[in-house]
Structures are given as C-alpha cells and as structure tokens.
C-alpha cells in the first residue's frame, strides 16, 4: 500500500509538472511561429504585387528597340550629311 502512495505522489508531484512544462514549451514555440509565418506571407504577397509591373518590361524592351532603331536611323542620316573629322 505504501508503494502505491509513493507512486501516486511521484506522478502528481514530479511527472505531471514535467509533462505540463514540456508540453507548454512546445505549444509556446508553435504559437510563436504563427506570427512569423503571417509576416512572411504578407511580405511575399507585397513582393509579388510589386512584381506586377515586371510585365511592363516587355513593353519597355520593345520601346528601347524602337528608340535605338530611331537613333540608328538618325545617326545614319547625320553620318551622311555631316563631314567626317579631319585626320590629325
């Protein structure tokens, strides 16, 4: 009978607090991850939204091509109508 009392006391005084402390630690760690995940999700969403303008780079590329073609045509005309520099 004494052994049963000792076992019950150990369970109540030692095992139960240890189990509670350990599980509470795990729970607190899991709860602390959630805000970080939410923050990462918000940042990723903002980054993804910022990149919506990346599609305009295709238009920019075409405009740069047209601009350079215009500059080349203009330079070609200048090359025709202007004399070259005299050789030193």
Q: Which residues bind other proteins (CB under 8 A)?
A: 1, 4-5, 7-8, 11-12, 15-16, 19-20, 23-24, 26-27, 30-31, 33-34, 37-38, 40-41, 44-45, 47-48, 51-52, 54-55, 57-58, 60-61, 64-65, 67-68, 71-72, 75, 77-79, 81-86, 88
Q: How far apart are CA 52 and CA 44, in angstroms?
A: 13
Three-state DSSP class for 66?
helix
Q: How far is the CB of 9 from other proteins (least distance, A)?
A: 8
Residue recorded with tokens 């090359």: 79
User: What is the phi/psi pair of residue 86, to 5°?
Assistant: -70, 140
Q: CB 67 → other proteins: shortest distance, Å?
A: 8
> Considering the complex, what minimum distance in angstroms separates the CB of residue 59 from other proteins?
10
Q: What H or E segment, with its residue span, contains residue 74?
A: helix 56-81
């Amino acid at each position: 009978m004494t052994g049963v009392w000792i076992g019950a006391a150990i369970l109540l005084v030692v095992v139960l607090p240890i189990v509670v402390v350990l599980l509470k630690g795990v729970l607190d760690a899991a709860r602390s991850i959630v805000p970080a995940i939410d923050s990462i999700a918000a940042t990723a969403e903002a980054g993804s939204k910022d990149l919506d303008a990346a599609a305009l780079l295709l238009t920019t590329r075409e405009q740069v091509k047209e601009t350079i073609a215009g500059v080349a045509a203009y330079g070609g005309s200048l090359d025709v109508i202007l004399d070259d520099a005299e050789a030193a």
